[in-house]
Amino acid sequence: MTGADASTVPALPDATSGRAKDSRAPRRRYSLLTRGDKIVMALMVGIPSALCVFFIWFPAFLSFLLSFTNWQGVTALTAKNFIGLKNYQNLFTTYPFFWPAVEHNVIWLLTLVFIATPIGILLAVLLDREIRGTRLYQSAFFIPVVLSLALIGFIWQLMYAPDGFINSILGLQDNPIDFLGNPNINLFAVLVAASWRHAGYVMVLYLAGLKSVDPTLREAAALDGASASQTFFRVVFPVMRPINIVIVVVTVIEALRAFDIVYIINQGKNGLELLSVLITNASIGEASLLGFGSAIAVVLLVISLVPIVSFLVRTMREGAS
Amino acid sequence: MSATSVAAAVPVAVHRRRPRAPRVVLYVFLTVLALLWLLPVAWALYIALRPVGDTLTNGYFSPPQSLTLQNFFDAWEQGSMGQSFINTAIITGFAVPLTLFISSMLGYVFSRFSFRANLFLLMMFTAGNLLPPQVIIVPLYRIYLLLPLPGFLSEFGHWYDTYFGVIFINVVFQTGFCTFVLSNYMKTISRELTEAAIVDGASLWTTYRKVILPLSRPALAALAVLEFTFIYNDFFWALVLMNHADKRPITSALNQLSGGFFTNYNLFAAAAFIVAVPTIALYLLLSKQFVRGLTLGSTKG
């Protein structure tokens, strides 16, 4: 509103100015812009886009190229380094950590989907009723969400320590369970901590969604004699479809991005292998198998693009219509 | 007519179907669960507050003989946490405003002008934000070693191991989320306002600066709080793109402090609690902004 002040640029006498003067002429906003405006717009969009392409999508493409090489980063990359699909072949057949890592990522996803997310939804549904001190409860459940997963790994080491809370309350101080060291159980111990955070996240998203549900829908269902659970599953859950999709995407992405918590606990070894960790350990650690690490990166990239692209296409299509 | 009668009828129906006992059960259930939820943080605090001598003789799972703040000072000192917090302040101090500045411009253009390319670009930014950062780390690491940077920003002349490099990649990655949220928010601002300004001869920049930015203040405030938390909590970038431990921000510095760094759990717990305090305090002070930031991206998206 205060925009029409001295600093405004008058329309340049170019092809667009004729229409620019007449506000009732075709509602093509772009044609109202002066040449200076177009340059400004090109800069506003062009510079960030170029940076995003160069620092995210170009490296992603390079990962793809490098995955066909045996490059170790010491000498220059030459044609001799290209070894075709050999990295992928090794990855799928001989490399001992690949399939366990895939399995761990899948278990991670299933745990978040079938345990953490329902807990979050349940909390949201319970807190959505008229409850005294609902903010207090919400804060308690949300606090883990504001902590980093690295810090959560740190905090839960105290819970799982030989003389930590869990072994102590189970009376096992003399013969403690090695929750984080035993490769048969450490993944599940870590998933308790990851779910602790994820449930709070889902709760907040879901609570916002529940607030936006038209209350007359529920009233109508109640009048028709529906029970609380019927109202939820038959009426509320279906109209929450947009939020449900967001939660599915967030959950899948979280499962694929999982890294910090296992890295801080034991660098993602000994039962805590994940794809993200294998990439990092293969290429940044002392091994420096850049080509091989890139092949794992490409696998993770392809898996990640499936939920990302399907979510975005859906969102954009709905936004357009 | 019917609206008021429905509203009046509902509480009665609800009361009849829900006697008092379940209500009590609900409160008990929620209270127990909430306490359980706070337990890990409370346990860290409890250990941190106890003197080492006390826990050495009595174990951690025991009533306190005395409480002390000494562990916090020792952890702060031994873990060089002051330096790490300064690094975090430098990184978030630049990265958060820059991210908001860039994504507000993008959001403005994407929400106001409909080109085909816009949709594609918005998808490109958002998808980039959702990628696991590890998928680009190998080439990015090499690119950071190759890109030159003037001496006042980098001791060694390249992007690797600099504040600049870590700030930069945080901005690039976070721009996707913020642009998505802001363009959704800006779509709710009346088009007539910006059009009127442009028809009146205001430049694109003036419209952005004087019309769109002030009206987007609620979304920007929510995102500022959220982005501070995201970047404060970032572990990976500074871990991989920095070499010197004394440059790393506090969350990445946790990696050095993990394992056998501290001689006892009391110091370990004190360090954990110190790192948790800023974001928990921010949340307790500005919980509305937090929730709004998270849900702007989901409910309108």
What distance in Å separates the CA atoms of residue A36 and residue B244, rounded to the nearest whole number? Answer: 45
Most confident of the ranges A166-180, A198-212, B44-58, B80-94: B80-94
In eight-state DSSP terms, residue B162 is S
Question: pLDDT digits over B211-227, tens only?
Answer: 999 999 999 999 999 99
- Which chain A residue's Cα is nearest to B297? A246
Please name the amino acid found at residue A274.
L
* Cβ atoms of residues A166 and B255 within 8 Å: no
Per DSSP, helices labelled H in chain A are 17-21, 35-52, 58-66, 86-93, 98-111, 117-128, 134-142, 149-160, 165-169, 186-211, 215-223, 228-230, 237-239, 241-257, 260-266, 275-283, 290-320
Nearest CB partner across the interface for B132, out of A129, A290, A304: A304
Q: What confidence score (pLDDT) does residue B191 get?
A: 85
Q: What angle do CA B193, B199, B205 make, to 5 degrees?
A: 70
> In angstroms, rounded to a whole number, what is the distance separating the alpha carbons of residues A179 and A162?
8
Provide CB contacts within 8 A for A58, sequence distance 6+.
Answer: B139
Residues on chain B touching A151 (C-beta within 8 angstroms): 233, 251, 254, 272, 275-276
Q: What is the mean pLDDT of residues A213-220?
A: 85
What is the average pLDDT score of chain B? 87
Residue of B nearest to A297 (CA): B135
Domain extent at residue B191: 80-257
Closest residue of A to B23, CA-based? A131
Determine the Cα angle at B144 with ends B163 and A46, to 5°.
85
- A229: exposed, middle or buried (Cβ count in 10 Å: 0-12, 13-18, 19+): exposed
Q: In the Cβ-directed half-sphere of B87, how many Cα atoms lie within 13 Å?
A: 27
Among residues of chain A, what percentage have pLDDT more than 70?
88
> Percent of chain A beyond pLDDT 90?
55
For residue B152, give how far its alpha carbon lies from the nearest alpha carbon of chain A (Å). 22
A107 to chain B, closest Cα gap in Å: 18
pLDDT at A30: 61
Q: Is the pLDDT of residue A19 over 50?
A: no
pLDDT of A5 over the 50 cut: no
Read off the pTM: 0.88
A-chain CB neighbours of B128 within 8 Å are 52, 56-57
The percent of chain B in helix, strand and coil, each rounded to the nearest 5, is 80, 0, 20
Which of the four pLDDT bands, split at 50, 70 and 90, describes residue B48? very high
Which has the higher per-residue pLDDT, A149 or B20? A149
Chain A positions touching B60 (Cβ under 8 A) are 161, 163-165, 168
CB-CB under 8 Å, B173 with A305: no
Question: How large is the average pLDDT for residues B117-128?
Answer: 87
One-character DSSP codes across A22-90: -TTS---GGGG--HHHHHHHHHHHHHHHHHHIIIIIHHHHHHHHHTTB---SSSPP-GGGB-TTHHHHH
CB–CB of A275/A101 below 8 Å? Answer: yes
B136: nearest CB among A41, A56, A155: A56
Q: How many Å apart are CA A160 and CA A166, to the nearest integer?
A: 6
Q: Are A146 and B283 in contact (CB under 8 A)?
A: yes
Q: Has residue B247 been placed in a domain?
A: yes
Tokens 């650690």 -> residue: A285
CA-based nearest residue in chain A for residue B250: A151
Determine whether the interchain pair B279/A204 forms a contact, defined as Cβ–Cβ distance below 8 Å: no
Give the distance from residue B150's alpha carbon to the nearest chain A alpha carbon, in angstroms. 19
Torsion angles phi and psi, residue A306, rounded to 5: -60, -60
Number of domains present in the structure of chain B: 1
Q: Could you read off the pLDDT of A91-145 as tens digits, one per residue?
A: 999 999 999 999 999 999 999 999 999 999 999 999 988 788 888 999 999 999 9
Structure tokens at B247: 């440059």
Cβ pair B265, A120 in contact under 8 A: no
Return d(Cα A313, Cα B14) in angstroms, integer.
42
Q: Which of A161, A45, A85, A194 is nearest to B44 (CA)?
A: A161
The answer to whether B206 contacts A7, with C-beta atoms less than 8 Å apart, is: yes
ipTM of the complex: 0.88
- Look at A289 and A298; give whichever has higher pLDDT: A298
* Contact assignment for A126 to B251 by CB distance below 8 Å: no
Residue A321 has pLDDT above 80, yes or no: no
Interface contact A59-B276, CB threshold 8 A? no
Compute the C-alpha angle A7/A24/A28, nearest 5°.
75
pLDDT at residue B114 in the model: 75
Phi, psi of A82 (to 5 degrees): -75, 125
Class of the domain covering A93-320 = mainly alpha
Mean pLDDT of B66-77: 93
Contacts of A147 in chain B (CB under 8 A): 233, 276, 279-280
**Residue burial A4-22, b: 16+ Cβ < 10 Å; e: rest:** beeebbebeeeebeeebee
Closest-CA distance of chain B to residue A52, Å = 6
For residue B193, the model assigns a pLDDT of 86
Q: Which whole number is the average pLDDT over B27-43?
A: 95
Q: Give the DSSP letter of residue A213.
A: S
Q: Which of B126, B135, B240 to mutate to test the interface with A (most CBs of A within 10 A)?
A: B135
**Of B128, B140, B283, which is closest to A142 when you measure between CB atoms?**
B283
Helices B116-130 & A35-52, crossing angle to 10 degrees?
30
Q: Is the pLDDT of residue B4 over 50?
A: no
Assess if residue B109 is contained within a domain.
yes
In a domain, B13, yes or no: no
Distance CA B300, CA B298 (A): 6
Mean pLDDT (chain A) is: 85
Mean pLDDT of the region B155-166:
91
What pLDDT sits at residue A189?
Answer: 96
Partners of A72 on chain B (C-beta within 8 Å) are none
pLDDT of residue A3: 31
Q: What is the pLDDT of residues B226-267, one digit of tens each?
A: 999 999 999 999 999 999 889 999 999 998 888 778 888 999
Nearest-5° Cα angle at A199, A194 to A203: 155
**Position A213: which residue type?**
V
Question: Which of A208, A290, A312 comes nearest B299 by C-beta?
Answer: A208
> Taking residues A156-181, what's their average pLDDT?
91
CATH number of the domain bearing residue B234:
1.10.3720.10
Residue B166 has pLDDT above 90, yes or no: yes
Cβ separation B135–A157 shorter than 8 A:
no
CA-based nearest distance A3→chain B, Å = 5
Each residue of A45-66: pLDDT tens digit? 999 999 999 999 999 999 999 9
Identify the DSSP state of B158.
Answer: B
Instruction: Using the predicted structure, report yes or no on whether residue B83 has a pLDDT greater than 80.
Output: yes
